[in-house]
Each structure stands twice: as structure tokens, then as C-alpha cells.
Amino acid sequence: MPALINPSILSADFVNLERDLRAIATADFVHVDVMDNHFVPNLTLGLPVVTRIAEVSTLPLDVHLMIEDADRWAPEYAAAGAASVTFHAEATQAPVRLARELRSRGIRAGIALRPASPVEPLLDLLPEFDMLLVMTVEPGFGGQSFIEGTLPKIRRARAALDESGAATWIQVDGGVSRDTIGRIAQAGANVFVAGSAVYGAPDVAAEIAALRDLADA
Ligand code: DX5
Ligand code: ZN
């Protein structure tokens, strides 16, 4: 499958969101970072804003929940119009039950791991999820530098998926740029979130195309 590029609107201008959504029309999904100032030390946006983004965006929504009590809140984001909802393994009591709940609503279910969280406990369960999100920075902020030590985790997840034949996508989020995307793709990721690299570029559409080409090279 060709690489998917999901720009993160965390690096967009929040008072010009509609304009900044139009700017990424050639991407695959719009990545929406929801933070609650508890799971991570930052606060972004919640259900009312996600509902409006879903109404306005021409791209499907890839919602990344960095919030506590995902079991309570993730289904609400499905109802708000997300095409994919990713919750953190560290913030749920029952990840498989929650993923099944999201899938029963006809959307994709993703599970995310902080850089220091091991993937091993999840490897046999990956077919229960549409996506594994390997965080490649500590969640909370855009513009941080890629943590090289996350690459072996991506490789192990890819090997387990190849062995099981599951179609689960591997997404990476944090520090994705022209400099890093090639080796992240080599490690086995196929969905790339990029915030500052895309929105900080002089030509947003050209940056999306360049990242896609480098990932597929
Ligand atoms: C960080 C967010 C990311 C963030 C990535 O916690 O989950 O989606 O926007 O930003 P960059 O691409 O700048 O590292
Ligand atoms: Zn994110």
C-alpha cells in the first residue's frame, strides 16, 4: 500500500482552521490532536471543534486522543464524525473492548503507544486494531525532534504483522520530516503524521508530495 500522509493541524493557525484545512487537500487524512492537560501537559480542542472540522473538511478525520479515560470519550469522537479514532494504550482499561466498540460504529480504531511503552503486550492483539500508532516523540507538542530509539519498536511491530498477515496500519507521529521519513518507512511504518514539517513549509502541497515520495522510495 502506498504511504499515507496525515498532516497534523496542531501546527495550523487555529483561528484560520478552514483555510489551513483547504491547504492540505492533497493529503490522505487530517490528523486532529485532542489533548486534555491531564494525559499530556497541553490542552488543544475537544468535541465541539472536532464536530465542526468533520463538517467542513474534505479529508477524513484521523483523531488522536491524548486524553485520560479513553473508554468514556473515544466513542463520542466516532459520533462526532471521525473516520479513525486512536486512543492511548496507557489511557484505557479495556483496549480490545474499546476498539470493538469503535469498529461497531463503522470507523477505524487505533491504539497508540508513548515512546517508552513496550509493544510486546500488544503484538498478539494487533488484528483487533486498524492501526498501531507508535509515538516517536513524547506526546503533547509539535516541533520536537524524532526519537531514534523508537525505530526497533516499529520493526518488531512490522515483523509481527507480516507474520500474522493482519492488515493493521502502522502510523508514526512526531518529528516526521524529509530527513526522517525514509528510515521510518524502511522500519515498516506506512502512515505518517507531520505537523511542523507540513505547515512550516513554504509550499504545503509540495511538502506533502515530497514526504509521500520519500516514504515510497
Ligand atoms: C504531538 C502530536 C503530533 C504533533 C506532531 O503530541 O501528537 O501529532 O502535531 O508534530 P510534529 O510533526 O511537528 O512533530
Ligand atoms: Zn498526534
Q: Is 7 in the pocket of ligand 1 (CB under 6 A)?
A: no
| Ligand 1 pocket test, candidate residues 10, 150, 198, most atoms within 8 A of CB | 10
Total domains in the chain come to: 1
Question: Which is nearest to 65 in space by CA: 52, 54, 55, 50?
Answer: 50
Euclidean distance between CA atoms 214 and 212, whole angstroms: 6
- Residue 10: the pLDDT is 98
| Conformation bin of residue 207: beta by default, left when phi > 0, alpha when psi is -120 to 50 | alpha
- Residue 105: the pLDDT is 98
pTM (2 d.p.): 0.98
Range of the domain at 136: 4-216
- List, by residue number, the catalytic residues: 33, 173
- Residue 136: the pLDDT is 99
Contact between 191 and 6 (Cβ < 8 Å): yes
Across the chain, which has 217 residues, the per-10-residue mean pLDDT values are: 97 98 98 98 98 98 99 98 99 98 98 98 98 99 98 98 97 98 98 98 98 97
For residue 151, count other CB atoms closer than 10 A to its CB: 20
Predicted-complex ipTM score: 0.99
SS3 label, residue 130: coil
Closest ligand 1 atom number to CA of residue 139: 6
Euclidean distance between CA atoms 64 and 66, whole angstroms: 6
CATH number for the domain spanning 205: value is: 3.20.20.70
